[in-house]
Amino acid sequence: MQPDWSTIISVLAALSPILLAILGGIGWLYRQEKERREAVERQLSEHQYKAYITLLDIFFDMMKATKAGKTIDPTDLIDRMFDANKDLILYGSDDVVNTYQKWLGSAREGKIKLGQFGEIVISIRRDMGNPKTKITSEKVLRQFIVDYEDAKAKGLI
């Protein structure tokens, strides 16, 4: 028995407004969810940026003080580190947190290496939209350490 094409076409014609409404509703829900996710990602990105800047400010302030021959108030430094830790653990990527914790472990052992600072900067760059960065830790450090070769020879890097 052959299907009655006119009946099938009539049924499809009758159902098409319903199907269009369903598809339109699904499209609207998808767009709403996408917009919500983008808003959350923007908010997260702002928090990440703040956390990373706080962390980098600590490093840069320490470098400036060292260069100027000044001492840093340890209490102030510890307070700033706790604030940075709080934001970093909440908003930082796994790569940045792991690199930072590696640096903290070395610092606690009294074996601070400036190369690890460079690695933290590289991790931050990757997380903030440069996943294929070609910048190396050495290039980062050369920007901040005038006598890079001397520091490297002394084992500081």
In a domain, 56, yes or no: yes
In a domain, 25, yes or no: no
- pLDDT of amino acid 74: 77
pTM of the model: 0.68
Q: What are phi and psi of 128, to 5 degrees?
A: -90, 20
Binned average pLDDT, 10 residues per bin, the chain of 157 residues? 78 86 93 90 85 89 82 81 89 93 84 83 91 90 84 80
In a domain, 27, yes or no: no
* Residue 148 Cα distances to 85, 119, 130, 133, angstroms: 28, 16, 25, 22
In a domain, 14, yes or no: no
Overall domain count for the chain? 1
- pLDDT of amino acid 1: 61
Altogether, the residues listed in the chain come to a count of 157
In a domain, 93, yes or no: yes
In a domain, 31, yes or no: no
In a domain, 127, yes or no: yes
In a domain, 90, yes or no: yes
* Residue 114 Cα distances to 54, 64, 157, angstroms: 18, 14, 5
Q: State in Å, rounded, how far the first CA of the chain is from the last one.
A: 85
For residue 142, what are the domain limits?
Answer: 44-153
